[in-house]
Amino acid sequence: KKCNNTCIQNECDAKDSYYKTGLEIYQQTKKDYPNSRIWLTGHSLGGSIASLIALNHSLPAVVFQAPGELLYAKRIGLLSYNSESELNNYLEGLQIYHFGHTADPVYTGTCNGKTSTCYHGGFAMETKCHLGNTCTYDTRAKLGWRRSIMNHALLPFINKVINEWPRITEGKENIAKCEVDRECKDCEGW
């Protein structure tokens, strides 16, 4: 069976899709707390869902180690642009920040192919580009970490990277630089 954009849209609209469930949670929260300013957050798949909802409702989001969701946003019609330059300028204006590190194959979009640790875990991804800004800590260079699915867990990222980064960099870098990755290309191996 061939899957095209109609197939993807139908899956997105399915009552049990993660995106639709996330939208329902957001709508209920907005209804229950009508005067509140809502920020979205999440880790991994939850981060991608938070980012998509933030895009769809012009909300701020701070997400951690999410897989790339830009391609999905394009395919379900959340983005409309005439050129890559126009798209990148739009992405720079979003209040969506993706925090991750270079040893996490899910975040960096290198969780693909038969040699990846993800493949041996039973899954693989072909996308890596994110909505908004990416704030990437270079744990491979600064900590000597190897790329592994084991580095996708949230607690080590918080404890070893975010909390220790100023000490690791001797106070020279308190936070990763956040910017739109203008060179990012999804599905390069296709």
- Asked whether the beta carbons of 136 and 145 are under 8 A apart, the reply is no
Amino acid letter for position 49: I
- The answer to whether 91 touches 83, Cβ cutoff 8 Å, is no
**CA–CA dist 138, 161 (Å, integer):** 9
Reply yes or no on whether 116 is catalytic. no
Given the residues 17, 36, 44, 83, the one annotated as active site: 44
**Calpha distance 157→102 (Å, rounded):** 11
Burial degree of 103 (CB within 10 A; 0-12, 13-18, 19+)? buried
Active-site positions read 44
